Amino acid sequence: MGFVLFEQKDNIGIVTINRPEALNALNSDVLAELESTFDAINLDEVRCVILTGAGQKSFVAGADIGEMSTLSVEEGEAFGKHGNDVFRKIETFPIPVIAAVNGFALGGGNELAMSCDIRICSDNAVFGQPEVGLGITPGFGGTQRLARIINPGKAKELIYTASNIKAPDALALGLVNAVYPIEELMPAAEKLAGKIARNAPIAVRACKKAINDGLQVGMDEAIVIEEKLFGSCFATEDQIEGMKAFLEKRKVEKFVNR
């Protein structure tokens, strides 16, 4: 169907939501393609993923209002579960995912960006959760992730008022890590992904798991999670090469993902 495109550049995967005529809005077909695209990524080759939207106007403008407008209670809950399942897959994807937010990231678009590890955006980006203005709540994790990423009081204000914020405010709140002119966004995303991809991939994956899992539990449990993942790295060829290169005062020849 072509609603989601995938391109691989060396060890970097680029996933593009490709529905520009609808500002890349999410419907059931887009969600299904997004899930199947991530399922098909070769983790032996790809070490970091960039997620973006087609065109320069919109990352994802939200979920498809036309599809949602006639849903029953049961259908609404099922649609929310579909989106949450896909976004949770991205959030827990073994390798890092960078959201390159080009333009609108509203409703489901903001929720999709928040499911990624790192968010950078263009200077024309706009973020928000406008759902209460439509008579619904955020349904793809917005009430949960926004309050975890930024100040909970500010998250409540944005959600309760259905207010949008522009790129500089998103940066100030910590919702994004950096803002770039639109033409520099993808080069910046690829540069960041390249830095990640050059490091030991098993160690990077272990770091993602340690951070994500550790944030869900208390500190005593969290440090045990870290200890076990730290220890697991010592079974890898990349650990042997990385430390050998350090001791020999040379650069690592190549991390082999083993």
Q: Which residues sit opposite 122 in a β-bridge?
A: 180
**183 annotated active-site:** no
- Catalytic residue, chosen from 35, 131, 190, 227, is 131
35 is catalytic: no
* Marked catalytic residue, from 111, 221, 241, 248: 111
Going by their DSSP bridges, the two strands 12-17 and 58-60 should be labelled as: unpaired
Instruction: Residue count of the chain, please give it.
Output: 258
Query: HSE-up of 251 (CA within 13 Å, CB side)?
Result: 4
CB 61 within 8 A of CB 112: no
149, 175 contact by CB (below 8 A):
yes
CA–CA gap between residue 184 and residue 132 (Å, rounded): 34
**Residue for token pair 């207010």:** 163
Active site (catalytic) residues: 111, 131
